[in-house]
Amino acid sequence: MDIDNGKCWHNSKKDSWRTTLLLAYQSLGVVYGDLSTSPLYVYKSTFAEDIHHSETNEEIFGVLSFVFWTLTLVPLFKYVFIVLRADDNGEGGTFALYSSICRHAKVSLLPNRQIADESLSTYKLEQSPDREYNSKVRMLLEKYKFLHTALLILVLLGTCMVIGDGLLTPAISVFSAVSGLELSMSKNHHQYAVIPITCFILVCLFALQHYGTHRVGFFFAPIVLVWLVCISALGLYNIIHWNPHVYQALSPYYMLKFFKKTKSKGWMSLGGILLCITGSEAMFADLGHFSYAAIQIAFTFLVYPALILAYMGQAAYLSRNHQNADQIGFYVSVPESLRWPVLAIAILSSVVGSQAIISGTFSIINQSQSLGCFPRVKVVHTSDKIHGQIYIPEINWMLMILCIAVTIGFRDIKHMGNASGLAVMAVMLVTTCLTSLVIILCWHKPPIIALFFLLFFGSVELLYFSASLVKFREGAWLPILLALFLVTVMFVWHYATIKKYEYDLHNKVSLEWLLALGPTLGICRVPGIGLVFTDLTSGIPANFSRFVTNLPAFHRILVFVCVKFVPVPFVPPAERYLLGRVGPASLRAYRCIVRYGYRDVHQDVDSFESDLVRRLADFIPYDWCHQQANAGQGNEDHASTSGRSSGEHRLAVVGNTEFSRSLVFDVDENMQQESVSCGNCRGPDVVLKVPPASLLEVGMVYVV
C-alpha cells in the first residue's frame, strides 16, 4: 500500500514539474517579449550623444558592467526572489500590492469596504504576531488622512506610467527592429523607409487587437524562444570570435573606471543603460496568468543567460571594431549573411513584446475602472475560454494614434529611449515603495528589513531615474506630461465617485415611504421582476422615488441591485451574491449585493440577469423557512430617514441551494459608506427593443 502511494506521489510530482515547465515555456511569449528585445536598442541609445566609444574600450566595458549588474540586481534579485512573493492570491501588479495593503490597514480611499467582505475566502489575512513596531506603522498610516491620499496618488502614478509604457514600448521596439534596414540601404533611403514601415506595422498591430490574441497566441512563445536562442548564439559567436576576455568587464571595477573617465556624461548615459530592464515589471504584473515557479525558472535559466550573452557579444564585437563608432547598434554585430533572417525574427519579437504591453494596458485600465479610478469605457472580452483577455476600443485607437505620433515626432531611438526609460523607472520606484509597506504590514517583518529593501533598491532606481529626468527636454517630458494628465483625470473621477455616493447615502428614502406605496396612492404593481441598480447597500435609493414619481408603477418583485468591488483579485462565484429581504415578505422587495474583484471577468447582461434570478429563486424559500423559525423576531429593513436602521435585514451568501447559518451576516450600517457600484449602461435605446412612445428615461443630475 505504501509502495502504491509512493508511486502515486511520484507521478503527481512529475506531472507538477511538467506543468510548471510548460507554464515557463508559455510565459516567454507573454512576459518576456519586451525584456528580450532590449538588446536591439540599449547600446545604441546609450552611445547616442553623451558618451563615445573610444580605442581604450573603457566606455563599452563600463556600460557592459552596468548592464550586467542592473540585470542581476533588479529583475533577478528584486523581482524574481522578492517582489514575486508579494502576490495577492496569486495575482501581481500595482493594484495587487495596493489591495493587500488596504486589507491589512484601513488606508483605502476606495469605497469598497464592508464587514461581510472580510468573510470572503480570498480576503485572507495572516495572523499578525504581537509586534509593537508593526502596529505602530499601521496606526501611523491609519491616523493621517493625507497619507491615505498620498498612497492612492502613488498607486495612480504607477498605473499612469504603465499606460505610458504601453504607448512608448511598441514605438521603440518596432522602430529599433526595423532600423536594421540602415545597414542595407543608403542613409537617404533609410530615413524615408524606416518610419513608414514602422507606422504600417503599428497600424496593423492595433487594428488586429479586436480579434484578441487567443487565435495567434500559440505563436508568441516559439517566436520569443527562437529570438532568445538567436541572440544567445550570436553573443557566444562574437565572444569567441572577437574577444574571449570580455567576461572581465563584468567586474564592478569597470563601472568605477567608467565614471572616472566620463564623469557627468557617464551619469547622463545611464538613461540609456536602464533600458536593459524594460519589461521587468511584466514578470510581476502577469503573475496571475502563470505561477511563481514558472516565471522564476523561465527568467533564471533562459532569459537571463540569453540576455547576458547577447550584451557580452555586442561588447566583444565593439571592443575590436572602432572604425564605425558612429554606427553602434545591435545589427552591426550580426554577420552580414544572417542579417535578413535576424531582422525578420527581431520584427516578429518586437511585435510580440508590443502585444504583451498593449494587453497589459487594457488590463490595468479595466482594474482602474473596477476600483472607481477611471472613467467608464467599453470593455470587450475577446475570448470565452481564456480568462482576462479583453479589448477596449477607445483606448486602443488612442494608443495607436499617440504611438504613431511618437514615432513620427521623435524619429530616433534616443528620444524614444529617454521617454520609455523614465516611465519604466517610475513604475519600478512605485513597486519598491509599495513592496516595502507589504513587507511590514502583510509579511509582518521588522521595519528595518523594509527600510533596507527600500534604501538598497530605491537608491539604484533613483540613480537611473535621475539620469532619465535630466533628459526632460529630450523626450522624457512625454511620460511626465501624460502621467500628470491621467493622474488628474483618475483622481477627479475617484473624488466625484465618492461625492456621488455620499449624496445618495444622505438622500436615501425611508422604508416607511416604500411601505406607504399602494393602490390608494395610485401605485400599481405589474407582473415581472424589476431591477433597481443603486450604489447603496442599505436603504431605498432616491432615484427609485424619482422613478415612481414619474411613473407610478413598479414590478411585483422588486430587487435593489448593488454591484460593488472589493479589494481582492477575484470573488468565487459561490460567494459573489449577498441577498436579503427589504421590508415585510408581503412587499416582495429584496436587496442583492453583487461583489467583484478587480480582476474578475464580468459576464454579459443576459448571463448576469439569469444568474441573479436563479440566486433569488434559491433565496426566497430559505427566507421563508428562516422567517418561520424566527417568528416574532423583526427581520425587516426598517431604514429611517437619517440613514440608520433599527433592524437592518440579514444578507445571505447565495452560491448553492443549501444554506449554512455561518454564511448569514448582519449588515453593519457604519460600514455602508464605503461601498460603490460601478455599473454602467452604455447601450443605446434601440437595444432595449422598446417602442419610442413607450420609453421613459429617468435620470438624476449630481452637482459636485
Segment 640-652 shows an average pLDDT of 43
296 and 187 within one domain: yes
Q: According to the model, what pLDDT value does residue 439 have?
A: 94
Count Cα neighbours of 212 within 13 Å in the Cβ-side half-sphere. Answer: 15
For the cut 90, the answer to whether the pLDDT of residue 342 exceeds it is yes
Residue 660 pLDDT > 70? no
For residues 55-67, give the mean pLDDT: 91
Contacts (Cβ under 8 Å, ≥6 apart) of 578: 116, 592, 593, 594, 595, 651, 652, 653, 654, 665
Looking at the structure, tell me whether residues 153 and 228 fall in a common domain.
Answer: yes
User: Does the pLDDT at position 672 exceed 60?
Assistant: no
Q: How open is the CA angle 139-140-142, to the nearest 5 degrees?
A: 60
Whether residues 104 and 191 share a domain: the answer is yes
Positive or negative torsion for Cα 485, 487, 493, 496: negative
14 confidence band (pLDDT: 50, 70, 90): low
Residue 649 is predicted with a pLDDT of: 53
Question: For the segment 434-444, what is each residue's pLDDT rounded down to a tens digit?
Answer: 999 999 998 98
Residue 685 lies in a domain: no
End-to-end CA distance of the chain: 71
CB-count burial class (<10 Å; 0-12, 13-18, 19+) for 682: exposed
Name which of 45, 40, 47 is nearest 234 in CA terms: 40
Name, in order, each residue with C-beta under 8 angstroms of 584's C-beta and a sequence gap of 6 or more: 515, 636
pLDDT at 536 over 80: yes
Same domain, 482 and 560: no
In a domain, 703, yes or no: no
Residue 43, in any domain of the structure: yes
Domain assignment of residue 127, yes or no? no
Alpha helices in 299-412 (DSSP H): 304-320, 339-370, 393-410
What confidence tier does 302 reach under pLDDT thresholds 50, 70, 90? very high
Do 521 and 477 sit in the same domain of this protein?
no
The predicted-structure confidence for 355-401, as pLDDT tens digits, reads as follows 888 888 888 898 888 888 888 888 887 766 666 678 889 999 999 99
Confidence of residue 151 (pLDDT cuts 50, 70, 90): very high
Determine what percent of the chain is predicted with pLDDT higher than 90: 38
How many structural domains comprise the chain?
Answer: 2
Residue 541 exposure: Cα atoms within 13 Å on the Cβ side: 24
Q: Answer yes or no: do 458 and 571 share one domain.
A: no
Q: What are phi and psi of 558, to 5 degrees?
A: -115, 130
Looking at residue 114, what is its pLDDT? Answer: 64
Q: How far apart are CA 498 and CA 418, in angstroms?
A: 37
DSSP string spanning 631-648? Answer: TTS--S--B-TTS-BSSP
Q: Say if residues 681 and 531 touch (Cβ distance below 8 Å).
A: no
Same domain? 257 vs 174 = yes
Beta bridge partners of 595: 564
Q: Is residue 583 part of a domain?
A: yes
Give pLDDT, residue 324: 67
Q: What's residue 54's pLDDT?
A: 77
My answer on whether 525 and 478 are in the same domain is: no
Low-confidence winner among 49-58, 148-157, 239-248, 462-471 (lowest mean pLDDT): 49-58
Shared-domain flag, residues 256 and 320: yes
Q: Is residue 489 part of a domain?
A: yes
393 & 519 share domain: no
Count of CB atoms situated within 10 Å of the CB of 431: 25
Section 579-599 average pLDDT: 86
Q: Could you tell me if 518 and 445 lie in one domain?
A: no
The Cα–Cα gap between 505 and 251 comes to 63
Task: Report if residue 700 sits inside a domain.
Answer: no
pLDDT score at 127: 60
Q: Last residue of some domain: 493, 524, 542?
A: 493
Q: How large is the average pLDDT for residues 435-454?
A: 93
690 found inside a domain: no
Q: Which domain holds residue 636?
A: 508-680
488 plus 557 within the same structural domain: no
CATH of the domain at 179: 1.20.1740.10
Place of cell 574577444: 243
